[in-house]
A and B are shown apart, each in its own frame.
Chain A
Amino acid sequence: MLAVEALTVAYGGLTALAEVSLSVGAGQFVSIVGPNGAGKTTLFKAISGTVRPRGGRIRFEDRDLLAVAPSQRAHFGIAHVPEGRQVFAGMTVLENLEMGAYPQSGRQGWARNLERIFALFPILAERRGQAAGTLSGGEQQMLAIGRGIASSPRLLMLDEPSMGLAPVVADLIFERIGELHRDGLTILLVEQRVAEAVQSCDFGYVLETGRVVLEGTHDTLLADDRIRSVYLGM
């Protein structure tokens, strides 16, 4: 479904990603883990088009993504839930979801999607008229995910959904992501907290300073002690 080939991104003098290749098959749950500064967010931005790569290719369902404008990519069925949530702070919860439903597919499935979002995160239904900026961090994360689902995506990209959240809330979020996957959604997850990310994935990649240092299935990753050394240095 998504294929990234030899992607290289550099800002000024520093190389954020060096020849990174990965692929996500339809219906898969793929996790990318790695410590801060590994280039995970840059990878997502390159896929969404807010960062222009220096080399490599990104294909989504036989389309060359690098050949289309960033704003077009959401219309192909890619939903990007960005790091730090980035909800539209001055707009209400419902308006945020409406913006998520901006692509044609989102408008067609609006009623169904809204029902699904509110079923996943009932608190959003309660707060639907409230400005998103006044929500708590966990609620904002739920809204950001809901906003992603509102476009009826075929690929949901989640960037550090647990960042800055209390463990209980993070657990809930991961549970919901698992549900979405079980319902058939393809998921690409970037996460710092390895356990949750590796636990639920079909396939995973470990990034360190812009390179893939380890890749493999759920079991391979768990068996490999390199993950711990990537994070803790010894």
Chain B
Amino acid sequence: MTPFGTFVEIFLQALLAGILIGAIYGLMCLGLGIIFGVMRVINFAQGEFLMLGMYFTFYLVVSFNALWFLGPSLGPYVGALIAGPALFVVGYVLHKWLIARVTGFSVVGTEGEGHYAQLILTLGIALVLQNGGLILFGSTPQSVRTPLSSRAWEIPLLYNPDASLFLNKARVVAALVSIVVAVALYWLINRSRLGKTLRAAADNASAAVYMGIDVDRAYRIAFGLGIGITAIAGGLVATYNPFQPYIGFDFVIIMYAGVVLGGMGSILGAFWGGMTIGLVQQLSTLVLPTQLQNAAIFVVFLLVVMVRPQGLFGRATERM
């Protein structure tokens, strides 16, 4: 095979890997994007909710084997989906009891002082969840094994019978589930009455009050929804990636980079922001050593923010 042919093969392999991982990143960014887009709250504990989604799936599927009837291949994915509503409730309640005390209608639109309390509060929540997780779940890395993770689809390359691409089945299924959830969410946000209510509250909170919308309730729902979506992504990551209670910080940074790339406040742009990160991460391995693939994410992130502060997929009207 020619060197060029080899390069094409490696490139396509990295591209596919990037799309697969990008779909899951996209989903977790979508969760954070809803929270940021609707409430302008910087939630540092988002990674911990991802972690809770992982453990929820783990306990449901592995420890309690509650989904035995679905079989080992299907069970983990259904488990991840169930993590969504479960963590929605957690997020809703947490917002009502804690977050709403330092954010909400009066804080919207303020920069600086109003945000300090919210930053440190979510940092505190992150610490409690992370370490509470350590107490409850232990520090041993866990994983939700599926027989799919050791199987792959082989896609022959038409131009060269000797070369082919390998697609890990677990990752393909996880990516597909992500895309389905993202599409469902897209529908919810854009077409449903609830979604429009959330967008109205995000767009102009006081006008929303004049329409009779309970803005504080909209914020609670948005928070719960964002947490739930990220938890589903967590459950999906758990099917191929071992995890421990401290894994949240690794992902919260990816999520923030994705949300900013997508254009802060553009809820659905966050998905494409996450996808971009997956692609950058995987494609960078073609030219950079593997250790630098995460550094590449942040360099690209900084470049994009400097050149296009409204994000790659945001509208220019979004405030800076």
Query: What residues make up the interface of A, taking CB atoms closer than 8 Å to B?
Result: 48-50, 69-75, 79-80, 82, 86-91, 95, 98-100, 102-103, 133, 147, 151
Contacts and interface: CB of A to CB of B under 8 A. Distances in A.
B199 interface: yes
Nearest to B212: A74
A102 B197 contact: yes
Contacts of A82: 206-207, 210
A87 B207 contact: yes
Given A89-B204, A99-B196, A74 B210 contact: yes
A73 B208 CA distance: 12
B211 A74 contact: yes
B213 A71 contact: yes
A70 B209 contact: yes
A99 B198 CA distance: 10
Contacts of A70: 209
A145 B71 CA distance: 57
Nearest to B317: A133
Contacts of A72: 212
Nearest to B216: A71
Given A89-B203, A99-B200, A133-B317, A48 B213 contact: no
B210 A88 contact: no
Interface residues of B, number: 19
Main secondary structure of the interface of B (DSSP, over half): helix
A89 B212 contact: no
A116 B213 CA distance: 23
B24 interface: no
Contacts of B199: 88, 90-91, 95
Interface string B188-208: 000001001101100110111
15 contacts: A72-B212, A73-B212, A75-B212, A80-B210, A86-B210, A87-B204, A88-B199, A88-B208, A90-B199, A91-B199, A91-B203, A99-B196, A102-B212, A103-B211, A103-B212
B200 A91 contact: yes
Contacts of B35: none
A89 B193 CA distance: 17
Given A50-B210, A89-B204, A91-B203, 19 more contacts: A69-B214, A70-B209, A71-B214, A74-B209, A80-B210, A86-B206, A88-B200, A88-B204, A88-B207, A89-B203, A90-B199, A90-B203, A98-B196, A99-B196, A99-B197, A99-B213, A102-B213, A103-B211, A147-B211
A72 B213 CA distance: 8
B215 interface: yes
A91 B206 contact: no
Nearest to A105: B212
B72 to A, nearest CB: 44
Would you list the 3 A-B pairs with minimal beta carbon distance, nearest first? A74-B212, A86-B207, A88-B203
Interface of B: 193, 196-197, 199-200, 203-204, 206-215, 315, 317
B219 to A, nearest CB: 12
Nearest to B206: A50
A151 B207 CA distance: 14
Contacts of B212: 71-75, 102-103, 151
Contacts of B193: 98
Most buried by A among B196, B211, B213: B211
A148 to B, nearest CB: 8
Nearest to A79: B210
B214 A99 contact: no
B193 to A, nearest CB: 8
Contacts of A100: 211
Contacts of A87: 204, 207
Contacts of B215: 71
Given A88-B203, A89-B317, A91-B203, A99 B209 contact: no
Nearest to A75: B212
Contacts of A50: 206, 209-210
A99 B210 CA distance: 10
B48 to A, nearest CB: 30
A69 B217 CA distance: 12
B93 to A, nearest CB: 20
Most buried by B among A72, A90, A98, A103: A90
